[in-house]
Chain A
């Protein structure tokens, strides 16, 4: 199954992926109108210590700790993709604590959010399309 992989060798730390992710999940058609004066909450985040940088996003684990730990069944894994049902999430943060990659985060409006591989945004993750250096790829491995 195709997943998002990041090649640290090519990650520039430009953070464009973060903005493309936030835009993709904003439901708006223009990036400026979606992100102007907004504190973005992207599902992919760049780790950068000044020397090494790379983007981190949900691995869609085979045995996902977030799904196992979810107390309401809001997180599910179907066809290899882990998605979250915001309506069922009660905001207990258990998944946030259990994800070893820090890839489940609060939306700020009660429920949690995570990468769903842009299933509803055209099918190809927008971080992949927006990466200027092919550091993020969407492929079978």
Chain B
């Protein structure tokens, strides 16, 4: 067929009273949308290729550009939405699995937005964080059941390794390969300055980044890419990735085109070969098997580092977490179904898994019921969008939160959700040298530091308002939350009362 049934998603509006034909847009768009027509001295655009990343809009010096939704419509149909029809056209053309990136964009309920935070009035004083000390530091890891001291007061109880964070936030796993060298470096620099951690993902650790080891979580995933003794020893903690919120139940696939130069070296696989992470770890089919890997990693690093087990939030997450808590893991990381990805089959991203809010509430409750809540710390991710989400997560029982999408946004990401194409105009999800350049860590790292610092201030304000002066005192304090517009079942899973109760 010589034509496509698809029409462009976007319209490119160029104000002729502003455009000075500088061709900056043309040079900046890796999708080759803009083009200067010498013969007629005009700028042209092929909107079919536009992904609405807004790189051109941002850099156009006269602000002549606007990317708008294409007003072209299909006849209205509540069942067959435009997107559904377009996906069918696309598959009829390609015969392939639909791929997407970043988090689930479908309008499922966001429980953070249906939860409200308490504040002190009259009977219990609120605290002003600008005048009084406020503790946002947290320690992640197994906590002792009791503390024993010898006669002179020194500690007799042997403490297990802990991960210390100045604020209860970490940058979650994004591999070098899925994101660029400069994006990775920016995360590492920012985590170091902030006294938090970033996470290598399963792409190994580039030799230049060993210097950030104290603030690095090194990941061991099913593909075991880039894993060796030095790598394990380099990090502050080791994370075993069992699952990812954006694509529970399936593995990963970084196409050979992205396995170039340093990425191939760091992953320890040949250039041009596809990096395929199997769906399961082929040596883990039970909690006992998981325990073996947990202890192998502890053994390899002389019991000096906490071990994190990361899983996707799925239907029976509470039972899974209970098993993990008994596997010897120090920290459980749960990734909700709105978590991002560099590429996932669309149907899986949009239909598999459960919201992190519900998963967190049920896991925390289950571990408490079983009396094993203190044997692990809980870290949650999968669309933590603001400091308010962080505070709500902690009140629901989390020890800390993982953020990634918010971090990418701070570095310039516009959520165009085209990471899988490898041509990220913002230099983040790409390995193309001319694009990678676009993230200058000297600009991006301070932006990340600003974001987390701002959230830190806001967390203190929210804590102070509740009359609480430390994260520790908020953890699992569900009395500080009320639901709004939630049904009985949702309230009971979240373990919170309704507003007004």
Contacts and interface: CB of A to CB of B under 8 A. Distances in A.
Contact of B64 (A10, A12, A32): A32
Interface in A1-50: 9-16, 18-20, 23, 31-32, 35-36, 38
A14 B440 CA distance: 15
A19 B438 contact: no
A9 B437 contact: yes
Contacts of B64: 32
Contacts of A106: none
Contacts, number: 55
A19 B442 contact: no
Interface in B54-90: 58-59, 61-62, 64
B4 to A, nearest CB: 31
Contact of A133 (B24, B27, B437): B437
Given A15-B22, A19-B22, A133-B443, A10 B437 contact: yes
Contact of A19 (B28, B58, B61): B61
Contacts of B18: 32
B28 A36 contact: no
B26 to A, nearest CB: 10
B22 A35 contact: yes
Interface string A116-141: 00000000000000101111000000
Contacts of A10: 437, 440
A135 to B, nearest CB: 8
Contact of A13 (B19, B27, B59, B442): B27
Contact of B437 (A12, A16, A18): A12
A135 B438 CA distance: 10
A14 B19 CA distance: 16
B23 interface: yes
B232 to A, nearest CB: 32
A12 B20 CA distance: 20
Interface string B1-41: 00000000000000001111011100110000000000000
B124 to A, nearest CB: 48
Contacts of B438: 12, 133
Interface in B425-473: 434, 437-438, 440, 442-443
A23 B434 CA distance: 27
Nearest to B442: A134
B59 A132 contact: yes
Given A32-B17, A133-B443, A15 B23 contact: yes
A19 B27 contact: no
B334 to A, nearest CB: 37
Nearest to A9: B437
Contacts of A132: 58-59
Contacts of B17: 32
B20 A14 contact: no
Nearest to B60: A16
Nearest to B20: A35
Contacts of B23: 15
Contacts of A12: 27-28, 434, 437-438
Contacts of A36: 20
A19 B19 CA distance: 12
Contact of B24 (A11, A19, A38): A19
A38 B19 CA distance: 12
A32 B27 contact: no
A92 B442 CA distance: 44
Contacts of A23: 61
A133 B440 contact: yes
B143 to A, nearest CB: 44
A130 B62 CA distance: 12
A130 B61 contact: yes
Of residues B18, B23, B64, B437, which shows the largest number of chain A Cβ atoms within 10 Å of its Cβ?
B437
B38 to A, nearest CB: 13
A31 B440 contact: no
Nearest to B25: A14
B59 A16 contact: yes
A32 B62 contact: yes
A34 B319 CA distance: 67
A137 to B, nearest CB: 10
B27 to A, nearest CB: 5
Of residues B28, B62, B443, which shows the largest number of chain A Cβ atoms within 10 Å of its Cβ?
B62
Of residues A14, A38, A134, A135, which shows the largest number of chain B Cβ atoms within 10 Å of its Cβ?
A14
B20 A32 contact: yes
Contact of B61 (A9, A16, A133): A16
Contacts of B19: 32
Nearest to A137: B442
B30 to A, nearest CB: 11
Nearest to B16: A36
A104 B23 CA distance: 24
Nearest to B17: A32
Given A12-B434, A15-B23, A16-B61, 18 more contacts: A9-B437, A12-B28, A12-B437, A14-B28, A14-B59, A15-B22, A16-B59, A20-B61, A31-B20, A31-B62, A32-B62, A32-B64, A35-B62, A36-B20, A38-B20, A133-B438, A133-B443, A134-B442
24 contacts: A10-B437, A10-B440, A13-B27, A13-B434, A14-B28, A14-B59, A15-B24, A16-B24, A16-B59, A18-B22, A19-B22, A19-B24, A31-B20, A31-B61, A32-B20, A32-B62, A35-B20, A35-B22, A35-B62, A36-B20, A38-B20, A132-B58, A133-B438, A135-B440
Interface of B: 17-20, 22-24, 27-28, 58-59, 61-62, 64, 434, 437-438, 440, 442-443
